[in-house]
Amino acid sequence: MLRQADFGDGTYQNPVLYGDYSDPDAIRVGDDYYMVSSSFSNAPAIPVLHSYDLVNWKVVNYVCRQVPEYRYVNPMHGSGVWAPAIRYHAGEYYVFFPMPDEGIYMSRTKDPRGEWSKPVNMMPGYGVIDPCPFWDEDGKAYLATAVSGARVGYKSVLKLAEMAPDGTHLLSESQIIYDGRNTENETIEGPKVYKKDGWYYIFAPAGGVKCGHQVVLRSRDIRGPYEYKVVLRQGDSIVNGPHQGAWVDTVTGEDWFLHFQDVYAGGRIVHLQPMSWRDGWPVIGVAKDGNEYGEPVTVYRKPATARQGALDAAGKTVEICEPDNSDEFESDTLGLQWQWNANAEDDWYEMIPRESAIRLRAVKTNGMRQLPDYRNLLLQKWAAPEFTCEIRMNVRDLCAGDMAGQVSMGQTFAGLAVRCAKAGTERAAGRKDESAAAASEGGRQTSAKLRYELVKITGKQEFDHQMAFAQSEESVLALDADALAAAGFDVVWKYRVQIREYADEIDRKDFQGNDVWVRHIHREDITMYMELNGKVVEGSEVKIDAKAGRWVGVKNGVFCVHKDGESAAPECGSATVDYIRYGV
């Protein structure tokens, strides 16, 4: 395991998920807990995680095989699926999710591990986000939402509309039920609606993602008016802006709260806080010195769940686990840790379980595209503050114009890849490579002589009015084709993340004009290089400063594309990945 949240002695440490599972929402059904999170323009969309104890989680499914709407055949950084909500009602699981450029969608199923229904755009519109359904005892249903300032120019309000009980459409216009503008609750969003003892409660983060707090609104009428209290602040902890999450209970009667923390390059990681009640208001975390609000805990006892004592119903030990990361590709289906940079096509890859490998086909890409906009980047989330990743890839089957390698994807990005070209053609540096040898396959020469080069790509993305613009630089290092052939065309890619320092910075000014600081921020370096025949290829190292992407953490993975000026190339080739292994 890269990072173990469960100490195995009845206690746990936060975060319970060091992974970019942003905007988490969770429910309990029996003694099963299910969580969903944002996925933006990555596909498949909306991971479904499962746990028995709120500490150990596994990805078990996705709600959508692809992001709805055609434009997501391309990466649309910052768009796509934002904060979803999951609920269980009348024997079915419902997920409502926002796409801020398209509307609010709903999908449902009787089995969260099985197939989910085709999403229905139940509230078409622009700039509406963070939906949460609520079914009342009288049979009426409602939908709470927030507003995206990045889309419509204003924010900080929560709205409510009556909804058809089947969740397929609204029955009324949305009305503002809480306005946090020009208050400490600016940027209030992510409403989650509950009912207890005749009170309607709306849990919502406010004050900003990186440096805000948790608010709870309370009213006897679901339409308001609402009073509020701040129930969770950073306080003296290092957990900045404890943000959007979910109230869940246990069969033993305990209350807990899952939320995220934005750790910049590492993304939005998930914490678990104890929750108690005082005078009809929740207190999340542990209150100090008589405070009415709580502060995040670092180490705490595990929830008293139905599987108390770490034993399941069959008397077996509940697995101490984390979402999968390493992959030996022994299955006939792609592992659930993987997501594509855009909606995938079936012919992009082939699982080869008999060889414990995955074949990545070289997908033709427009010559104007930069690395972050390649559609077929195969990516996964960081799973620890510091880690290493080793990838073994065979490039024997690359054709002229193909390029395959590893990628680090964020606002700063990098790629390291082997590119294949016809011998004697011009290199990017303007020189001919005269040292190329014929590629061989199974001891036979191919009909055309090929040369190989190591391509190092580094760059940065900028975002302007929801559009992403990437600039990159490319350098080329000639590879000895004889040495490559002698290695059986097997290359090893190395990826390392290390914390360089901890820093403080001003995030913004509050509604009174005061500076708001974020403390103890990780600053990470990413190092990538290539090995051949067990030796580091001289000059192959790439080192960049890690920067998160558009509301997402840095991801790393592999790719294989066809991109060159040889438009008459008869075919595209492929690269085969034997394994991807993560370690500390």
H helices present in 142-207, as ranges: 149-152
Q: Which amino acid is at 261?
A: Q
Find out whether 177 and 160 touch, Cβ atoms under 8 Å. yes
Q: Are 546 and 511 in contact (CB under 8 A)?
A: no
Catalytic residue among 6, 20, 23, 327: 23
Give the count of beta carbons closer than 10 Å to the beta carbon of residue 220. 10
- Structure tokens belonging to residue 568: 């008459």
Q: Catalytic: 189?
A: yes
CA distance 215 to 238: 19
- Catalytic residue, chosen from 189, 295, 373, 578, is 189
CA–CA distance from 525 to each of 143, 386, 414, 501 (Å)?
Answer: 43, 10, 12, 9
Cis preceding linkage at 119, omega within 30: no
Residue 6 bears catalytic tag: no
The helix/strand/coil state of 372 is: helix
CA nearest to 75, candidates 474, 402, 366, 472: 366
Cis check: omega of the bond before 165, within 30 degrees of 0: no
Task: Compute the distance between CA of residue 557 and CA of residue 274 in angstroms, rounded to an integer.
Answer: 35
Residue 570 carries which DSSP code? S
Residue with tokens 């790439």: 542
Which amino acids are annotated catalytic?
23, 189
